Amino acid sequence: MQKFGGSSLADPSGILRAAQRIAKTRENGYQVVAVVSAMGDTTDELYDLAADVSPRPRPSDLDALLSTGELVSSALLAIALADLGQAPVTFTGSMAGLITDDVHGKAQITDVRPDRIRTCLARGEVPIVAGFQGRTKKGKKITTLGRGGSDLTAVALAAALGAGICEIYTDVDGVYTADPRIVPRARKIGVLSSEVMLEFAASGCKVLHLRCVEYARRFGIPIHVRSSFVPELGTLILPGLDRHPFRKPVKEQPVVTGVGGVNSAAKVIVIGVPDTPDSMARLFQVLSHSGVNVQTIVQNAADSGSRRSDVALIVPATQAAPALAVLDAAQGTIGFQGLQHDGEVGRVSITGVGMRSSPDVFCTFLWTLSEAGIDLDLVEISETYVAAITRSERLEDAERAVRLAFGVARAAEETARSRSRPDKHLDVDGDVRWGHGLRGLTASPASRGR
């Protein structure tokens, strides 16, 4: 699988480079499916054009317009490949078998049916797929996948076709430790885990789209990010060695793989810390030098006019006493007003893929704990987990409720669940689908993540 981004196809020379890259790969004995983005800034220009015509175009009409950019790229690439003696065949997202929900502008993949692509490959041809787009199952209306959607198209097709790797060609030669345009000494990373790349993408790294990395991790697809302008290797992003790809890649929805609870943490509140950078630096310098492992940090303004804040720290329970001792000794240096120790707390968490990009997961997690009467203190969320801090004596109840909600309950809990909530069904791949009995928990199309 080879995907070429808009910067790689920005002009005729870029189109020719992509065609030569595909032809060379085929000459080396590999089959190739190409996925293309719109040329350069075409998508932005189409957005602007629609805005000039109407201040509020219908989402379905806007998707129909925006999807044309990739069609231009695929047609031009086919022309270039034909001149190189290849046999290209162009596909829209719909023709390639990308089925989505009906959320225009940020649709999620619900099925992948690449039968036409397989037939094309069997004939020795080169499929060229317009990225960023798909179609609804009902009505077969054109949808778009949101910004970076061509990356997602490529990974989804790679998973469905059983491709050995998905190469993402762009205008950078890999993933760096920092933005090299800002940090000249940033270095390129040769190999990354998909878990680390998830955090990179969520933190603003624009090399790969977040949903693309989630999908690749879920279905075990290696990604190679490399430059379309130079032949050197880029950054290889590998799914975790403990991950096992699903046999039938279809839904893009999040997958919860586990529920955990830790009852050996403590909460320490540093009251009235001066709201200056050096105060916070001194605070954590003291803790660091004493070997205290701070697991969670939450800073809240003490009141509207004090220019001070309260800093809540979650630390291992065994380190609470040392943390209080070293902070008390450093109170005069740091300048905070006092300390408070709330004793032991519990931390309940879910782990999986797509935690941040799927509001349904976060909503289900919070709603479940609310229904169980669990008071929450702090809530954390990343790409791979959602966690909440609660009273230690309620941790077991919190774990049980969350396991039931996400379908990872123990046998006895499963029996109780089936008796109390017959309207919730578990898919074969472990994903949860909610019926109407959970009081409207399922997010509306407007609130779903990309």
> What is the domain partition of the chain in residue ranges?
2-252, 256-447
Confidence tier at 22 by pLDDT (50, 70, 90): very high
- pLDDT of residue 417 exceeding 80, the answer is no
Of 195-204, 270-279, 343-352, the range with the highest mean pLDDT is 270-279
- pLDDT of residue 386 exceeding 90, the answer is no
For 296, other C-beta atoms within 10 Å of its C-beta total 18
**Nearest by Cα to 114 from 157, 153, 152, 150:** 157
Enter the tokens of residue 196.
Answer: 């680390």
Q: What SS3 class is residue 344?
A: strand
H/E element, 298: strand 296-301
State the pLDDT at residue 282.
87
The whole-number average pLDDT for the span 326-353 is 85
The whole-number average pLDDT for the span 98-106 is 91
- Residues 288-302 have pLDDT tens digits of 888 788 878 877 776
Cα distances (Å, whole numbers) of residue 406 to 26, 36, 111, 217: 45, 37, 22, 20
The whole-number average pLDDT for the span 105-124 is 94
- pLDDT of residue 411 exceeding 50, the answer is no
Top-confidence residue, 74 or 428: 74
User: What are the CB-based long-range contacts (under 8 Å, 24+) for 415-420?
Assistant: none
- pLDDT of residue 315 exceeding 90, the answer is no
Confidence tier at 246 by pLDDT (50, 70, 90): very low
Distance CA 145, CA 96 (A): 14
- pLDDT of residue 414 exceeding 60, the answer is no
- The answer to whether 135 touches 141, Cβ cutoff 8 Å, is yes
Confidence tier at 241 by pLDDT (50, 70, 90): very low
- pLDDT of residue 182 exceeding 80, the answer is no
**Nearest by Cα to 97 from 132, 61, 134:** 134
Top-confidence residue, 366 or 184: 366
Instruction: Give me the CATH topology for the region 256-447.
Output: VC0802-like (3.30.2130)
Instruction: Specify the CATH class of 2-252 in words.
Output: alpha beta
Confidence tier at 425 by pLDDT (50, 70, 90): very low
Mean residue pLDDT of the chain comes to 82
Distance CA 16, CA 18 (A): 5
H/E element, 211: helix 210-219
Confidence tier at 247 by pLDDT (50, 70, 90): very low
State the pLDDT at residue 450.
34
- Residues 341-376 have pLDDT tens digits of 877 888 888 876 667 667 778 888 888 998 889 888
- pLDDT of residue 130 exceeding 80, the answer is yes
Least confident range from 122-131, 163-172, 183-192, 308-317: namely 183-192
User: What are the CB-based long-range contacts (under 8 Å, 24+) for 20-27?
Assistant: 20/84, 21/169, 21/228, 22/81, 22/86, 22/126, 23/81, 23/84, 23/85, 23/86, 26/86, 26/126
State the pLDDT at residue 125.
96
